[in-house]
Amino acid sequence: MKTILTGIRINSEITLGNFLGALLPMVRLANKYSETHHINIFIPDLHSIISSIDGDLKQNTIRELKYYLAAGLKINSNIHIYRQSYIPAHSELCWILDCYTSMGEALRMTQYKEKSQNNDSSTNVGIFNYPILMAADILLYDANFVPVGEDQFQHLELTRNIAERFNRKYGEIFTIPEKTADQVKFMETLNNTFSNRDKDTPSGLRIRDLQNPEKKMSKSSDSDNSKIMMSDTPAQAAKKIMSATTDSLANINFDFQNQPGISNLLQIEALLSDQPLATVIKKWSNQSRYGDFKKQVASTVSDFLSDFQTKADSISDQTILDLLAEGEAYATQKANQTLLKVQKSIGLR
């Protein structure tokens, strides 16, 4: 049985970018494939501690898992929900993979380069080691598909490279995750809105910063108006959409190159109203009144948040703790099995 796996850090509340780039695609994939695939949804809490944490990790974990249920995840016995730090095999395999990764390839990771720019005391070794822990997260469970936003694609490619190198040396130990381009195509089997589409060079989803749409929407952005948090009140979120940066072309087009702000809003509208992007583009294209369009997107976002938050609030903590207990029993067994295979192959056992 193939495996689909993903994780979202819980350093703080998650953004609409995290939600649309990773959580919602995972829920849609799970609901479509959970009869025939393992679906692993895990909380990368060890990845969280590379930087500061808003709130309490344990509470943040419970809240994020409620979001999967509120987004419509249907639970069955192929769905495995667990916390990374509860499965020690992640850290153990990470160390082993460290020894099969060159400094050069780890230093090339864009996210590391960005996060270590200041090279001050906040740049810890965990930030450097982060993609290799991510490789362990994926390889322990023989994951084939890993729905993530575009910013994580480089880490997926690194995972494939490490696993291929290891297999060349020791035989077929790891399952190699699908190529990024094939992962994007797989996501597109859901509907046609999960990538900034260009048929020849498929790319992943990147929801943009509302104030500075050249950049991705990020939890760590300083400006509150740049990002929609999943706990924003519907009115707050609507206001942020109304004040989003657009352009002066007075013509609605899906064109990230020249109109990133408007294109970002078209994408948000399509994903949250569950319509194909092409339908939304067709409806609005070549209209000049940005105000009307923004009002529509603001209303879609605020209706969505109010419904979503009501659903999330109605789920009890105990429901989540029960799912974790089951998921962690499964994950421990599966991860230890893979780890033992690795330990034997290199002569540790």
Positions marked active-site: 115, 216, 219
CB of 177 to ligand TYM, least distance (A): 9
Query: Residue 166 or 194: which CB sits closer to ligand TYM?
Result: 194
CB of 254 to ligand TYM, least distance (A): 16
Contacts 24+ apart (CB under 8 A), 50-54: 50/124, 50/126, 50/127, 50/130, 51/11, 51/122, 51/127, 51/220, 52/11, 53/11, 53/12, 54/11, 54/12, 54/13
Query: Residue 21 or 260: which CB sits closer to ligand TYM?
Result: 21
d(CA 280, CA 153) in angstroms, rounded, equals 27
Taking each continuous run of H as one helix and of E as one strand, the counts in the chain are 15, 3
- For tokens 């692993």, the residue is 40
Q: φ and ψ at 9, to 5 degrees?
A: -65, 155
d(CA 236, CA 257) in angstroms, rounded, equals 28
Q: Name the residue number minimizing CB distance to ligand TYM.
A: 21
Pick from 69, 87, 82: which is nearest to 30 by CA? 69
Q: φ and ψ at 126, to 5 degrees?
A: -60, -35
Query: Residue 86 or 295: which CB sits closer to ligand TYM?
Result: 86
- For tokens 């991705």, the residue is 216
Cα dist. 17→21, 67, 70, 171 in Å? 6, 14, 17, 39
Query: Residue 151 or 283: which CB sits closer to ligand TYM?
Result: 151
Residues that bind ligand TYM (CB under 6 A): 5-9, 17-18, 21-22, 44, 47, 134, 137-138, 146, 148-149, 151-152, 205-207, 216-217
CB of 11 to ligand TYM, least distance (A): 8
Pick from 110, 99, 107, 168: which is nearest to 136 by CA? 99
Query: Residue 143 or 342: which CB sits closer to ligand TYM?
Result: 143
Q: φ and ψ at 285, to 5 degrees?
A: -65, 145
CB of 6 to ligand TYM, least distance (A): 5
In this structure, the number of other CB atoms found within 10 A of the CB of residue 190 comes to: 16
Query: Residue 43 or 320: which CB sits closer to ligand TYM?
Result: 43
CB of 155 to ligand TYM, least distance (A): 6
Pick from 130, 65, 94: which is nearest to 327 by CA? 65
CB of 81 to ligand TYM, least distance (A): 14
